[in-house]
Structure 1
Amino acid sequence: MPNTFKVGDHVSWNSEAGRVRGHILRVHRKDVDYRGYIHHASPDDPQYEIKSDKTDHIALHKGWALRRLGS
């Protein structure tokens, strides 16, 4: 079972620039078209929409790519 998170959780993930931190804005439980790319999601394997703490960039990731951080 993949990691599950909720809106507001503080998480981190790997990117080309290193470890990034952000807060979950939305949980997508069905496929979502974001910037012309379909991100596949389901109730059992959602996509998490996350806003970076430093750059305000929005990213979508599966639960297995995320690590929960303390408040």
Structure 2
Amino acid sequence: MALSKGDKVHWNTSQGQTTGTTVEKKTREFTLDGQKFKASEDEPYWVVESEKSGSKAAHKESSLRKA
């Protein structure tokens, strides 16, 4: 499944399913809100913006589903 910037996606959290929008694809190690992520070409991460809270978080591409 290929995602693109601006796609509406959903993912699972401890509170249930959350919906948001893809903001930026990361394929190298990066830091977001003080937390390090080891993204790579083989295992990219997406910075996503939550529809409900507006906050940004990073998730593995494999954990996201198009909404």
TM-score by length of 1: 0.86
Q: CA RMSD in A?
A: 1.1
- Provide the secondary structure at the position in 1 that maps to 2:46: strand
Q: Return the match for 1:25 from 23, 43, 59.
A: 23
Moved over 4 A (4+): none
Q: Give the C-alpha shift of residue 65 in structure 1.
A: 0.8
Distance (Å, rounded) in 1 between the aligned partners of 2:59 and 2:4 = 13
1:47 aligns with 2:45: yes
Q: Percent identity?
A: 28
Q: Tell me which residue corresponds to 2:3.
A: 5
Q: How does 1:56-71 map to 2 (within 5 A)?
A: 56-69=54-67
TM-score by length of 2: 0.90
Gaps of 5+ in 1: none
Gaps of 5+ in 2: none
